[in-house]
Amino acid sequence: MLAGATAAAAQDFPDSKPAAAPGAAASLADSTKAIQKIEGTRYKLGALEFDQKSREVSIPAKVNLREGLLEYVLVHESGKVHESLLSTAVKPFELNVVLLLLNWKKSEAFFDFSRPERGGVLVKGAVNPAASHVEVHVAWKDKDGHDQTCRIENWLHQVEKKAKITEEPFIYTGSQILPDGAFLAEQTGSILALYQDPGSLVNNPREGNDLDDVWINDPAVPEKGTPVTVIFKPGAAPAEKKAGREKEPPAKPAPRRKSTNR
């Protein structure tokens, strides 16, 4: 039955062919074969669940830190957990496979990789394409067992601004494939960074993203160890311009000239 489910799932993504370096090709093939259909447009890959129509991805995680400075919102449990708000058992490689299958497009503008010896250099004021925008939401159950959900911005503060971080999309930057074919995010465990990280799958575009000492959690964050679901949603597309020219207001009548006749 599993074989049938994975075959059916594979047929539902005929136009999605994520690129991979030769060294990563086998892992990519294994991951795509492991996709199972849940129902309708919903699928799963390991612990990940995703929707082909809405392109949303649900990542099981848990609260990892409630005090101290943060450099990450989410990392793999083998990653930099000493500076991340949340942690997950989901592998960054598998998450990236899902994002690519859903036709998410990474921003090529966020980091400058033109000089390999420097690694990825943050580009200030980069214009990131709308297809790379990621809205991040979190869902959990409160102490009374009631379902709760909010944007992740409600759980984060910028120290210098003495306020919650602004509500705006994060940016899918896609990490890096190293010369030996290894996927950098899989090695570091970096998934969603507040402090700029070329190896992370998703990065923070807000002012101060080049600082590692300005990000902290809000007191509203649940107790450490609380299970949560992190939800990646495509950023809202900018409003389309109305076809054609907008209707112009009616012209004001020209003032009548005074008659010169006596």
Instruction: Give the max Cα distance, the chain.
Output: 101
What pTM, to 2 d.p., does this model score? 0.82
Is there a domain that residue 79 lies in?
yes
Is there a domain that residue 117 lies in?
yes
Is there a domain that residue 31 lies in?
no
Give the three-class secondary structure for 6.
helix
Is there a domain that residue 2 lies in?
no
Is there a domain that residue 43 lies in?
no
| Residue 29 confidence (pLDDT) | 55
Is there a domain that residue 155 lies in?
yes
| Residue 115 confidence (pLDDT) | 81
| Residue 257 confidence (pLDDT) | 40
| Residue 192 confidence (pLDDT) | 98
Number of domains in the chain: 1
| Residue 248 confidence (pLDDT) | 39
Is there a domain that residue 260 lies in?
no
Tokens read off for 202: 């998703």
| pLDDT averaged over 10-residue windows placed end to end, the chain, 262 residues | 40 54 52 86 96 97 96 97 98 96 96 83 93 97 96 95 94 92 94 96 96 94 97 74 39 42 38
Q: Which domain holds residue 74?
A: 56-234
Give every CB contact of residue 131 below 8 A, 6+ residues apart in sequence: 103, 104, 105, 234
| Residue 11 confidence (pLDDT) | 58
| Residue 247 confidence (pLDDT) | 40
Counting beta carbons within 10 angstroms of the beta carbon of residue 51, is it exposed (0 to 12), middle (13 to 18) or buried (19 or more)? middle
Give the separation between CA 262 and CA 260, rounded to whole angstroms.
Answer: 6
